[in-house]
Amino acid sequence: MSVRINLEKDGKKESGFMGFSWTLLFWGFWVPLFRGRKKDFLLFFLFFLVKIGLIVLTFKEQFRAQRSVLMFGFYKPSYILLIPTLIFVIIEAIEAWLVYYYNRYCTNRLLANGYYPEENDEYSIALLKEFTYIPYTKEELEDKSIREKYKKFSDFARKEERDKFKIFFSVWLIIGAIIFIIWVVQYLSKFSCISNIYPSCV
């Protein structure tokens, strides 16, 4: 769902990506695998396994705390348990950074390996220069019409990204509102049951 450009080297074509990586946000470690970046896939998958392990550890500790309260009436937490939480927060921060910068990293790697847009692909060339992946030539800097044309391309791409974000935010806002309403209805129903409005409920 990010901005896509076409790159080519010796007849071999690759896709470059710019902007916020929506695919990485939703699909996680699968994205590097789909792009043929096996080392990145292994690193992302390692993050995923660590997160799953930390979540399982947290649930186990919550279960132990509940059992301790039921059996003994109290629970004494250990500060050592803050370590998994800290690790989880660090991993989340790294993944948030990757969502913003992974596309730039991948595209820069392709450019460093000799991939470049075809000569007649003004759209890809314009975005690479407007998004500061490659510099403008002296002739382009002196030609106002070229810079205006490139800016129109970049404005269009940025608008598409903003529209995607608005759609994404709206969808999740609606989903969140529906979940909240369902939770409120269930809570009120349970409260009504306790108040003997529905005697048959437990």
> For 68-89, what is each residue's pLDDT tens digit?
666 766 666 666 667 777 777 8
Out of 56-60, 66-70, 108-112, least confident range: 66-70
147 shares its domain with 98: no
Domain count across the chain: 2
93 shares its domain with 156: no
Kindly report whether the global pTM for this prediction surpasses the value 0.85.
Answer: no
Q: Is the pLDDT higher at 175 or at 20?
A: 175
Please check whether residue 125 lies inside any domain of the structure.
Answer: no
79 shares its domain with 177: no
The 10s digit of each residue's pLDDT in 22-52 is 788 778 888 888 888 888 888 888 888 888 8
* Residue 153: Cβ-neighbour burial (10 angstroms; 0-12, 13-18, 19+): middle
Provide the mean pLDDT of the chain.
79
23 shares its domain with 105: yes
Instruction: Return the pLDDT at 155.
Output: 85
For residue 82, the Cα-to-chain-centroid distance in whole angstroms is: 25
Task: Tally the C-alpha atoms within 13 A of residue 122's C-alpha that lie toward its C-beta.
Answer: 9
4 shares its domain with 54: yes
Please check whether residue 131 lies inside any domain of the structure.
Answer: no
Using alpha carbons, list the distances in angstroms from residue 163 to 2, 63, 158, 169.
Answer: 11, 43, 9, 10
140 shares its domain with 113: no
30 shares its domain with 59: yes
Last residue of a domain, one of 54, 88, 118: 118
Compute the distance between CA of residue 136 and CA of residue 126 in angstroms, rounded to an integer. Answer: 9
**Nearest one of 19, 27, 169 to 100, comparing CA atoms:** 19
Instruction: Return the pLDDT at 10.
Output: 85
Are 116 and 16 within 8 A, CB to CB? Answer: no
The 10s digit of each residue's pLDDT in 152-191 is 888 888 887 778 778 877 887 898 889 888 877 776 665 5
Q: Which two tokens stand for residue 57?
A: 């550890």
Compute the distance between CA of residue 4 and CA of residue 12 in angstroms, rounded to an integer. Answer: 16
> Using 50, 70 and 90 to split pLDDT, how confident is the model at 65?
low
Instruction: Return the pLDDT at 194.
Output: 47
Instruction: Return the pLDDT at 11.
Output: 82
Count Cβ atoms below 10 Å from residue 5 Cβ, excluding itself.
Answer: 22
Compute the distance between CA of residue 89 and CA of residue 79 in angstroms, rounded to an integer. Answer: 16
* pLDDT at 133 > cutoff 60: yes
Q: Note down the domain range covering 37.
A: 1-118
Using alpha carbons, list the distances in angstroms from residue 162 to 2, 12, 51, 176.
Answer: 11, 31, 30, 21
Q: Which two tokens stand for residue 131?
A: 């998004």
27 shares its domain with 95: yes
The 10s digit of each residue's pLDDT in 92-105 is 788 888 888 888 88
Q: Is the pLDDT higher at 195 or at 78?
A: 78
Q: Is the pLDDT higher at 202 or at 66?
A: 66
Give CB contacts under 8 A, 24+ apart, made by 196-201.
Answer: none
**Nearest one of 77, 94, 74, 97 to 86, comparing CA atoms:** 94
